[in-house]
Structure 1
Amino acid sequence: MSTTATAVTPLSTEDAEVLLSAARQAAEASGVAVSVTVLDAGGHLLAFRRDDRAVLISGETSTRKAYTALQLDSATADLVDAVQPGAPFHTLPTALDRPLLFIAGGVPVHRGGRLIGAVGVGGGAPEQDHSFAVAAVDTLV
């Protein structure tokens, strides 16, 4: 019985630039200044850009959102309820050395059914950030 694994191309810097550009274009079309972070499957920074008009903290939030989406392989928008008091992940934000952020705007990136990275967007309302990140990931498919 053979179990051949299909190789999946990792997220490249070219892919990261596509994600970054698509998220920024979606944000610009909505008149929102944002920061965008793209991480590879190992959590390493592949691309980052903060619009001149974006609030300074958006750089940190975009990175934490991407990291959270990557570590939990889930959109951060889908995790907000899981960290509320009494929920399964309630203590998770303070239990780890690396900071997680459970605010919409982080989305994992998959290729061939495998997790290859994540994109995080910060600077707009959480729902806006989520939509910009989803728009970016949709361009890569």
Structure 2
Amino acid sequence: MSTPAAVVPLTIQDAEALVSAARQTAEAAGVPVSVTVLDAGGHLLAFRRDDLAVLISGETSTRKAYTALQLNAPTADLVDLVKPDGPFHSLPTALDRPLLFIAGGLPVHREGRLIGAMGVGGGSPEQDHGFASTAVEALA
């Protein structure tokens, strides 16, 4: 029986690169944001809220990252699943830790393995998803 090769975990340098890339893209679009990066265990690696970002964006970016991590899926792909007629309509209230099914959260993979997640809040859901996507693509 072979042991799978170890995958390098998400590092603080990776987390800072994700925050920087997301913020640069958001700044270029004129959107103040908050960005959260979590490791594979759900622990905070990096967080940044722009001075002009709405205060709630700090909470939404963190919840988006947590949701993407727990479900290993972009939050944009989960929105329809939790609507009243969706198969997971009770999921947002089923757990002690609140999930958030709004676009802007993405899992982060390395060599096909989940190593963390990031969330962006402050723009429209589509903007937040785009800022996060740009950052994750830049890390790869």
Q: TM (normalized to structure 2)?
A: 0.99
Identity of aligned residues (%): 77
1:4 Cα deviation (Å)? 2.7
Equivalent residue, structure 1, for 2:35: 36
1:6 Cα deviation (Å)? 1.2
Equivalent residue, structure 2, for 1:104: 103
- Measure the CA separation in 2 of the matches of 1:52 and 1:11: 26
1:21 Cα deviation (Å)? 0.2
Residue type of the alignment partner of 1:35: S
1:86 Cα deviation (Å)? 2.1
- Measure the CA separation in 2 of the matches of 1:26 and 1:119: 15
Q: How does 1:1-141 map to 2 (within 5 A)?
A: 2-141=1-140
- Aligned CA RMSD, in angstroms, stands at 0.6
1:26 Cα deviation (Å)? 0.6
Larger CA deviation: 46-55 vs 86-95 = 86-95
Residue aligned with 1:94, SS:
helix
Q: TM (normalized to structure 1)?
A: 0.98
Aligned pairs, number: 140
Segments of structure 1 that go 5 or more residues without pairing to the other structure are none
1:67-108 Cα shifts (integer Å, max 9, x gaps):
000000000000000001121110000010000000000000
Segments of structure 2 that go 5 or more residues without pairing to the other structure are none
After the TM superposition, list the runs of 4 or more consecutive aligned residues in structure 1 that deviate by more than 4 angstroms: none
1:52-81 Cα shifts (integer Å, max 9, x gaps):
000000000000000000000000000000
Residue aligned with 2:80, SS:
helix
1:10-32 Cα shifts (integer Å, max 9, x gaps):
00001000000000001001000
- Measure the CA separation in 2 of the matches of 1:132 and 1:99: 23
Residue type of the alignment partner of 1:33: P
Residue type of the alignment partner of 2:22: A
Residue type of the alignment partner of 1:81: D
- Measure the CA separation in 2 of the matches of 1:110 and 1:78: 16
Residue type of the alignment partner of 2:123: G
- Measure the CA separation in 2 of the matches of 1:105 and 1:75: 8
- Measure the CA separation in 1 of the matches of 2:32 and 2:74: 21
